């Protein structure tokens, strides 16, 4: 039996209707406030405000507000200046020279002395990169430099006192040297892991820097009551004149998505950053559009750089039927992705039509081959050719997934049963499941990959054989000399040719089927009518509150909340 999204309780439907009527009729209190305070909710909580630990969405979003990185990204995913006003890459792709801004100052703190602040310099960038690589820091963000920036291994093992790849020329000039060309390197430096921190403040607080962050971002830290409230204030000395537009950001931590939605309906929260199945049917049509009666609310939707897929562990020494490419191809052809996205996911995702790399990736068009063709007849023919006509003789396949995706797994179960392919579902919680997959204990599993940075390499690294566990995340153990050669050629190629090699790699993957792309998620945000300037971006990690503004909101809508 298929599991559909649970219907929202009737009382919530009534509140939505009343809210819509309130907006349409203009029946608001004449009292208004001009305070520019945006009220958010982070249902997953917040573990640290130290950028070295920006390993989940909540930490990433908040560190984006507090810290500058050498380069940033805009709403299209393109690189833009941040702490560095300009940069240049050497012809061999091994060196990057950065010219820093000279008007970027740290948030006030007594440790800076009488001026209570100081200018950010190249030495702060050098310290930040060294700190990220230090074993005692224990940052999960080490991977953005490890194997890329020259000298990381020697520095971490104590063979060198400094990173060979970091050269401070003067206060406003820095040069970074790589071990080998890596075209997405600038994208890595835009991640919050590389948020620039002042050495003296970090030394003062030690591990407590997570609760006392000092950066140069558009907002500065004011107060954090863990699990209850985080307040950020506008940085009046931010280098971009006129930004941020908000006076403050008040962040709540309601763990229930339905509870947060209720607070949104009551006007106590200004923004919902993701839709939960418990109420998405009430808000959206089957095609993912906002229902007409709720259109006074502001609705943002767009592609997200994320792919849901089925992973298959490949082992040339095994005689299991899944090691036969014809069986894997039959599995892929037997899944009705369009129906999955329309009838089960209600328009919140797109069928995986172009392979592993999702649409919306800047500068990339997928291979001409179609990954998502639904062709049960062709699937039956392939099964018969492999020696399993109508699924006869094919053992039951155990599909691992977490409970939150049980409804998707059951949809696949029903699809494939029509071919005689039997799936048995094994539900495990996220950390347990990830460890099982990493150790190679699962043969078939559902997984997702969300872009860390906007470059196809981030997805295609899952197909590169040197990235097999424990070195990397290529958990299918796929090994293809052709795919590996295309990946390596892309890293050496000029930008004009790089995408061609990426497409070759995907074409090889579509033939070999080490994994089966299912669908690409969309990004959704739902905002109150008084919220302005809240763009979406395909990575859904781009959360630039410096551009957001609040029109005067009625007091009746909760304007006093978050004080």
**Of 141, 172, 199, which one is at a domain's C-terminal end?**
199
* 79 located within any domain: yes
Instruction: Look up residue 454 and give its DSSP letter.
Output: S
What pLDDT, on a 0 to 100 scale, did the predictor assign at position 535?
67
Q: Nearest 5°: phi and psi at 318?
A: -90, 150
Q: In whole angstroms, what separates CA 216 from the centre of its chain? A: 23
pLDDT tens column, 381-421: 999 999 999 999 999 999 999 998 999 999 999 999 999 99
* 168 located within any domain: yes
DSSP 515-552: EEEEEEEEEEEEE-TTEE-----TTS----GGG-EEPP
Instruction: Look up residue 60 and give its DSSP letter.
Output: H
3-class SS of residue 508: helix
Same domain membership, residue 317 and residue 186: no
What pLDDT, on a 0 to 100 scale, did the predictor assign at position 366?
78
Residues of the domain holding 347:
303-521
Task: Take residue 176 and report the two structure tokens written for it.
Answer: 């970074």
Task: Take residue 71 and report the two structure tokens written for it.
Answer: 């380069």
* Nearest Cα residue to 286 out of 237, 346, 245: 346
**Of 164, 184, 199, which one is at a domain's C-terminal end?**
199
With vertex at residue 245, the alpha carbon angle to CA 242 and CA 248, rounded to the nearest 5 degrees, is 135
Instruction: Look up residue 429 and give its DSSP letter.
Output: -
* 434 located within any domain: yes
Q: In whole angstroms, what separates CA 17 from the centre of its chain? A: 33
Largest CA distance in the chain: 81
* Nearest Cα residue to 510 out of 376, 325, 364, 341: 325
Same domain membership, residue 193 and residue 327: no
Determine the number of helices (DSSP H) and then strands (DSSP E) in the chain.
16, 21
What pLDDT, on a 0 to 100 scale, did the predictor assign at position 408?
95
Same domain membership, residue 325 and residue 193: no
What pLDDT, on a 0 to 100 scale, did the predictor assign at position 555?
61
What pLDDT, on a 0 to 100 scale, did the predictor assign at position 348?
86
> What's the rounded Cα separation, in Å, for the pair 414 and 402?
18
Task: Take residue 79 and report the two structure tokens written for it.
Answer: 């690189």
Share of the chain above pLDDT 70, in %: 91
Domain count, the chain: 2
DSSP 335-357: --HHHIIIIISTTSEEE--S-SS
Domain containing residue 443: CATH number: 3.10.105.10
Same domain membership, residue 192 and residue 309: no
* 98 located within any domain: yes
Buried b (16+ CB within 10 A) or exposed e, 21-41: ebbeeeeeeeebeeebbbbbb
Q: Which residues, given as ranges, of the chain have pLDDT below 50? A: 1-32, 558-563
Same domain membership, residue 195 and residue 325: no
* 38 located within any domain: no
Domain containing residue 81: CATH number: 3.90.76.10
Lookup result for tokens 């959360």: 543
Instruction: Look up residue 444 and give its DSSP letter.
Output: E
What pLDDT, on a 0 to 100 scale, did the predictor assign at position 326?
97
What pTM did the predictor assign?
Answer: 0.85
**Of 148, 180, 199, which one is at a domain's C-terminal end?**
199
Same domain membership, residue 469 and residue 332: yes
With vertex at residue 275, the alpha carbon angle to CA 363 and CA 374, rounded to the nearest 5 degrees, is 60
422 with 397: CB under 8 angstroms? Answer: yes
What pLDDT, on a 0 to 100 scale, did the predictor assign at position 81?
97
* 171 located within any domain: yes
| Strand ranges in 59-217 using DSSP code E only, listed in sequence order | 71-73, 79-81, 84-89, 95-100, 166-170, 173-177
> What's the rounded Cα separation, in Å, for the pair 98 and 118?
20
Q: Nearest 5°: phi and psi at 550?
A: -120, 120
* 282 located within any domain: no
* 206 located within any domain: no
What pLDDT, on a 0 to 100 scale, did the predictor assign at position 554?
65
């Amino acid at each position: 039996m298929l599991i559909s999204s649970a219907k929202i309780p009737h009382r919530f439907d009534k509140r939505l209707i009343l809210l819509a009527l309130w907006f349409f009729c203009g029946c608001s209190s004449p009292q208004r406030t001009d305070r520019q305070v945006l009220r958010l909710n982070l249902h997953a909580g917040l573990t640290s405000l130290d950028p070295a630990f920006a390993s989940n969405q909540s930490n990433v979003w908040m560190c984006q507000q507090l810290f500058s990185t050498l380069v940033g990204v805009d709403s299209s995913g393109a690189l833009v200046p941040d702490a560095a006003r300009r940069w240049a890459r050497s012809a061999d792709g091994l060196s990057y020279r950065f010219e820093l801004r000279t008007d970027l100052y740290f948030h006030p703190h007594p440790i800076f002395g009488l001026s209570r602040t100081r200018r950010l310099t190249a030495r702060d960038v050098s310290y930040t990169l060294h700190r990220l690589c230090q074993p005692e820091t224990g940052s999960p963000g080490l991977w953005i430099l490890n194997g890329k920036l020259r000298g990381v291994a020697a520095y971490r093992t104590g063979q060198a006192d400094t990173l060979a790849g970091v050269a401070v020329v003067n206060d406003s000039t820095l040069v970074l040297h790589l071990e080998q060309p890596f075209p997405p390197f600038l994208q890595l430096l835009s991640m919050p892991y590389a948020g620039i921190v002042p050495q003296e403040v970090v030394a003062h607080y030690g591990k407590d820097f997570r609760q006392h962050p000092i950066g140069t971002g558009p907002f500065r830290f004011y107060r954090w009551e863990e699990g209850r409230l985080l307040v950020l204030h506008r940085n009046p000395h931010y280098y971009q004149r006129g930004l941020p537009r908000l006076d403050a950001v008040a962040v709540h931590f309601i763990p229930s998505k339905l509870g947060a939605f209720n607070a949104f309906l009551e006007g106590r929260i200004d923004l919902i950053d993701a839709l939960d199945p418990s109420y998405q049917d009430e808000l959206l049509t089957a095609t993912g559009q906002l229902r007409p009666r709720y259109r006074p609310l502001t609705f943002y939707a767009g592609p997200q750089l994320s792919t849901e897929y089925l992973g298959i562990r490949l082992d040339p020494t095994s005689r299991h039927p899944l090691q036969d490419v014809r069986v894997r191809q039959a599995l892929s052809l037997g899944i009705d992705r369009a129906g999955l996205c329309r009838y089960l996911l209600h328009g919140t995702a797109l069928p995986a039509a172009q392979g592993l790399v999702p649409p919306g990736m800047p500068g990339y068009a997928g291979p001409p081959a179609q990954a998502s063709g639904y062709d049960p007849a062709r699937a039956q023919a392939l099964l018969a050719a492999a020696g399993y006509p109508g699924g006869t003789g094919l053992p039951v396949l155990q599909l691992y997934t977490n409970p939150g995706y049980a409804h998707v797994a059951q949809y696949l179960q029903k699809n494939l049963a029509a071919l005689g392919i039997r799936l048995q579902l094994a539900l495990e919680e996220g950390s347990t499941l990830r460890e099982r997959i990493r150790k190679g204990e699962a043969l078939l599993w559902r997984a997702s990959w969300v872009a860390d940075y906007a470059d196809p390499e981030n997805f295609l690294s899952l197909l590169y054989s040197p990235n097999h566990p424990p070195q990397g995340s290529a958990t299918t153990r796929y090994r293809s000399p052709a795919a590996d050669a295309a990946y390596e050629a892309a890293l050496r190629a000029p930008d004009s040719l790089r995408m061609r090699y990426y497409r070759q790699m995907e074409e090889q993957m579509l033939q070999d089927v080490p994994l089966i792309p299912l669908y690409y998620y969309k990004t959704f945000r739902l905002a109150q009518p008084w919220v302005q300037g809240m763009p979406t971006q395909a990575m859904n990690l781009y959360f630039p509150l410096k551009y957001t503004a609040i029109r005067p909101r009625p007091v009746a809508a909760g304007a006093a909340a978050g004080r």
